[in-house]
Chain A
């Protein structure tokens, strides 16, 4: 800790300029750097009282240098001249270990007027008092839901906002603001020997849309509906993944669509472009330019303009998610899917994952077969493997016969293979789960999977 001038924290643009100019001095042909500056505030409530309040302001700079084409990465949260110089030396030293990376960093371009900008003022206007009120209302609502509600162990709300600056040695200099808020509640219901938790979480760019009482009712009814659940004998049957779990399920296997994984032999989709890999009802896309959603952005982690794109269209594999390195290796134009934080490597991923809505409601889907499993909860993904596609996942939900709930089900696993599962996709629901602002996946009906328990 010091008040001395020479160890003062540099402003974002000064820090970036220093890092890039030193990188050139130390021999980097190209370099890019990211500066993130974030603020957050969160509140946690238990039994009507504030349990925790957290407030933060932190910044960091991440640097990639290319020395003779070889990349080296480093980052620092100390933003003094001395610390940034050490960060540059670290990156240059590390570049000696790596192989050549065939990329040309983008040249400067100008952002269009920010039509997808977040409501920074609405987020900043969410103060502690409002946060506490929203949580207390939710807690009251949960307890008045019924005698089976035993406890509300998890109840919290937070907001964060920040600025991100990206610059490179080719004259690129871009910035964007981020702002979002989230509210989450976990309710425990008890009846006899049975204990179940129900959760609802909303993330949003507009905190005015929080309806915490409604969320409490949803979480409570989800907990209560699973009370008295029991296992069913092993069998094969149609499985309906509710819109509450479908995006998590697809998310586990998102890596199969990442170009870098494909090139490294870590995806079974290698070499299958323009082939039918899924049922013709299945379309999957990345939608980075949706208005005011969590995954929306005009430029990616390397400064390439983003573009909405289908990866699977009516069952046909159309392409992969690329950063500069993987698009170059694949021989395609940059696609703008790079993802990057200041402390990490450049990856690639979905910016708002979307599967289009189908025409049938959940109830209509339940009538499609005389007997099916309706899954409303997934329990961890450790039995799943994005490389092999293996699925072995604990689930909870309901046994459905002729469109009617027979009983809640737990202590079972659903197993199969993701790449078979998408071939057996039979129909999509007509709703997205509310409050997931970067995932848009409806309920998915799979015609046959192994259910064991």
Chain B
């Protein structure tokens, strides 16, 4: 990207009275191959390309984008976005102060150097392993995705930043079937790496795990509904914290007064055994960054420490409007979105308890070994999550598998009821959707005990 053109665009924004102006240019290459039942079901590649321009007047954001990158199109866009009735600001910076990432997530083998054909072996392996693990396997779908993004950012505070970001992800979904009953098990790890991610991944292990889970749940009966203690499994179990507590801890929610945590900084909002962190700096983690999508250095942010609320996740505007420190959390799916504060790798920190202790403390309840998807309304905190792999806990031990369980509650009401936290912290890759689009994030937690939660099921 040409810095001179960027400067002209930023100058035009300031001339139009904006307090802040920013240009974000992106070119992203995607490639996906999906194998279903030994056949390539789809193979596609593509290029996203465009430029986003943001003008900020006070707390008001005006954002536009275009897939044309000539000066005429960009200057027209600035005129369209400009708000009338403001006095022009003079351009205040000399040359751009350039920020270059230090290389925390360096790629060893660029995916582009390998091509889509190279992914086929890992996909075939996933299929073979699933089928040799159980004769109940009815269908195996495996896919490999890579995304390679070049971004350039310039703003009217005189900063520029260029970053080259790569993501690779492998997914396997296995459908097991017996006597007309079907169940799906899936695994989808991902990292900020190139092709070496596929080479180093334990594909057979992933596929076996997904298959075993699908098969185990085939014999399960339906869970009975009611309030009970629940031990939640590690890793993807963190999705509930992400949805029901993480989103309400973004300044975007605070700005709209749509969070039960407003005005609670410094207060005890969770059991003292609970510490929660959002960390953008973990090397190669799926949700990691170096600079955020406003060009600000990302960081490790402690959200809740020993039960006490410490801060919210913020971007430039959120920090200013809410009077909070900036956490380097501004994110966007692509040039088609204005950035807002979003989660990166969010997890509940490891505690002291063992799984056995927690099962014993639960006595009679539910072991939600792996969560499925769910929904949450951040403004009310209400959440509802399906459990993909669940067992009854009887007499402090894991008993029979059960299906059809959903966990229902409100985030801020559940936090004080998480009374034991395990040692087995694990992170799990996912994709989070919100106002600035779909972004890669990790969720995570150790196993933990929720004293009491409503389990929806079949009577």
Chain A residues contacting B97 (CB-CB under 8 Å) are none
Decide if A111 is an interface residue (CB 8 Å cutoff). no
Chain B residues contacting A234 (CB-CB under 8 Å) are 224-226, 457-459
Residue from the set B27, B258, B384 with the largest chain A CB neighbour count within 10 Å: B384
Taking a contact as CB atoms closer than 8 A, the residue among B49, B225, B375 that contacts A453 in the complex is B225
A-B contact count (CB 8 A): 229
A78-B42 in contact (CB<8A)? no
Check A73/B258 contact, CB under 8 A, given A58-B65, A385-B184, A413-B225: no
Chain A residues contacting B459 (CB-CB under 8 Å) are 234-236, 450-452
A153-B61 in contact (CB<8A)? no
Decide if A421 is an interface residue (CB 8 Å cutoff). no
B386-A54 in contact (CB<8A)? no
Check A53/B375 contact, CB under 8 A, given A94-B45, A231-B454, A392-B406: no
Q: In the assembly, what is the distance between CA of A51 and CA of B251, in Å?
A: 14
Chain B residues contacting A51 (CB-CB under 8 Å) are 59-61, 255
A392-B404 in contact (CB<8A)? yes
Decide if B139 is an interface residue (CB 8 Å cutoff). yes
A94-B44 in contact (CB<8A)? yes
Q: In the assembly, what is the distance between CA of A152 and CA of B181, in Å?
A: 45
Check A453/B61 contact, CB under 8 A, given A382-B372, A382-B375: no
Chain A residues contacting B80 (CB-CB under 8 Å) are 55
Query: Which among B112-120, B285-293, B301-309 touches the partner chain?
Result: B112-120
**Which residues A397-453 have CB closer than 8 A to chain B?**
410-413, 415, 450-453
B384-A380 in contact (CB<8A)? yes
**Which residues A1-16 have CB closer than 8 A to chain B?**
1-3, 8-9
Q: In the assembly, what is the distance between CA of A452 and CA of B138, in Å?
A: 31
B65-A343 in contact (CB<8A)? no
- Please encode chain B, from 388 to 408, with 1 for each CB lying within 8 Å of some chain A CB and 0 for all others: 000000000000000010101
CB of A210, distance to nearest CB on chain B (Å): 22
Q: In the assembly, what is the distance between CA of A59 and CA of B48, in Å?
A: 10
Closest to A91 in B: B45
Taking a contact as CB atoms closer than 8 A, the residue among B48, B62, B69, B257 that contacts A52 in the complex is B62
B379-A380 in contact (CB<8A)? no
Decide if A173 is an interface residue (CB 8 Å cutoff). no
A75-B47 in contact (CB<8A)? yes
Decide if B353 is an interface residue (CB 8 Å cutoff). no
Chain B residues contacting A29 (CB-CB under 8 Å) are none
Chain A residues contacting B59 (CB-CB under 8 Å) are 49, 51
Check A57/B379 contact, CB under 8 A, given A77-B49, A234-B224, A383-B386: no
Taking a contact as CB atoms closer than 8 A, the residue among B27, B65, B382, B408 that contacts A56 in the complex is B65
B50-A265 in contact (CB<8A)? no
Q: In the assembly, what is the distance between CA of A411 and CA of B39, in Å?
A: 43
Chain B residues contacting A55 (CB-CB under 8 Å) are 62-64, 77, 80-81
CB of B303, distance to nearest CB on chain A (Å): 21
Decide if A373 is an interface residue (CB 8 Å cutoff). no
Taking a contact as CB atoms closer than 8 A, the residue among A72, A98, A383 that contacts B406 in the complex is A383
Query: Which among B1-9, B200-208, B229-237, B416-424 touches the partner chain?
Result: B1-9
Q: In the assembly, what is the distance between CA of A266 and CA of B182, in Å?
A: 11
Q: In the assembly, what is the distance between CA of A394 and CA of B139, in Å?
A: 28
Decide if B344 is an interface residue (CB 8 Å cutoff). no
Chain B residues contacting A73 (CB-CB under 8 Å) are 42-45
Chain B residues contacting A291 (CB-CB under 8 Å) are none
B372-A77 in contact (CB<8A)? no
Decide if B377 is an interface residue (CB 8 Å cutoff). yes
B67-A78 in contact (CB<8A)? yes
Q: In the assembly, what is the distance between CA of A2 and CA of B44, in Å?
A: 28
Decide if B330 is an interface residue (CB 8 Å cutoff). no
Decide if B385 is an interface residue (CB 8 Å cutoff). yes
CB of A102, distance to nearest CB on chain B (Å): 14
Chain B residues contacting A49 (CB-CB under 8 Å) are 59-60
CB of B373, distance to nearest CB on chain A (Å): 3
A411-B454 in contact (CB<8A)? yes
B382-A379 in contact (CB<8A)? yes
Decide if B25 is an interface residue (CB 8 Å cutoff). yes
Q: In the assembly, what is the distance between CA of A73 and CA of B43, in Å?
A: 7
The 5 lowest CB-CB distance pairs between A and B, nearest first, are A380-B375, A234-B459, A452-B225, A382-B373, A413-B456
List, sorted by A's number, 10 A–B pairs whose CB atoms are closer than 8 Å: A54-B64, A60-B67, A76-B49, A78-B47, A83-B47, A97-B116, A392-B386, A411-B454, A415-B404, A452-B456
Q: Which residues of B contact A (CB under 8 A)?
A: 1-2, 5-6, 25, 27, 33, 36, 39-40, 42-51, 59-71, 73-74, 77, 80-81, 115-117, 120, 138-139, 175, 181-184, 222, 224-226, 255-258, 260, 336, 338, 372-375, 377, 379-382, 384-386, 404, 406, 408-409, 454, 456-459
- A sample of 16 more A-B contacts (CB under 8 A), given A234-B225, A392-B458, is A1-B6, A54-B338, A56-B65, A59-B67, A73-B42, A90-B46, A93-B115, A95-B43, A98-B40, A345-B44, A380-B374, A388-B182, A392-B457, A411-B408, A413-B384, A453-B454
